[in-house]
Amino acid sequence: MKKLVLAASIALLTACSTPQQQINFVPKPTTNTSQVAQNASFTLTSKDVRSAQYIALIDSGRNQIEPVHARQNVRIAVENAVKDQFQSQGFNVTVNSKNSVNIEIENALVKVKHSILDNEMTAKVVIEVTAESPKGRLVKTFTGTANRTAALSASVQDVQMVFNDVVNNVLKEMANDTELRQYMKERFHG
């Protein structure tokens, strides 16, 4: 009897540990060829304040909604992309500066409803940026959304493409935001 219980326990644990589908999340920073700042430095921090860590919910209509996670840590991937963007603009990211930029990921999710015949994806990404210096603080929220419908069911690659595209659009909006860039350029010296 003990062997049967042990075998059943091992089988159950093995079934629970089978890997679920994951999305390859590789955000692409928007880099600048011309530098807009010189001798401006700041410390970069980030937080992921989402209530759940999955980046997609797939509803196949069978009373089952499957969460899908990213292979990479979303917070770290976004922070690295933002760091690359600001460094390409001429800003120096240092460990201990009196100036700071905090990235807060508030929402990053693709909702997928699909059947054998069609699929509908709705994506939303919200990232809040707080730039702070002894001379003041600027808080900006960047939002990206996308809606996509297509024939047949959605693949993991389809979800991956939509998620990466929306995040990349938010990063591009952040990199090209003149108010944020000007604020940092004027106040992040010393």
Structural domains of the chain, ranges and CATH numbers in brackets:
22-187 (3.40.50)
Task: Give the per-residue pLDDT at 15.
Answer: 42
Q: Please report, in tens digits, the pLDDT of each residue of the chain (190 residues total).
A: 555 544 444 444 444 444 468 999 999 999 877 777 888 899 999 999 999 999 999 888 777 888 999 999 999 999 999 999 999 999 999 998 999 999 999 999 999 887 778 778 899 999 999 999 998 999 999 999 998 877 777 788 888 999 999 999 999 999 999 999 999 989 987 5
Break the chain down into helix, strand, coil percent, rounded to 5: 30, 35, 30
Taking only the tens place, the pLDDT of each residue in 49-96 is 999 999 999 888 777 888 999 999 999 999 999 999 999 999 999 998
Token pair recorded at residue 154 = 């959605």
Residues making up the chain, counted from first to last: 190
DSSP states of 86-122: HHHTTPEE-SS-SSEEEEEEEEEEEEEEE-SSEEEEE
Task: Give the per-residue pLDDT at 190.
Answer: 56
In the numeric block, the tokens 């797939």 are attached to 58
- What one-character DSSP code corresponds to residue 124? E
**Cα 40 from Cα 38, distance rounded (Å):** 5
Task: Give the per-residue pLDDT at 11.
Answer: 45
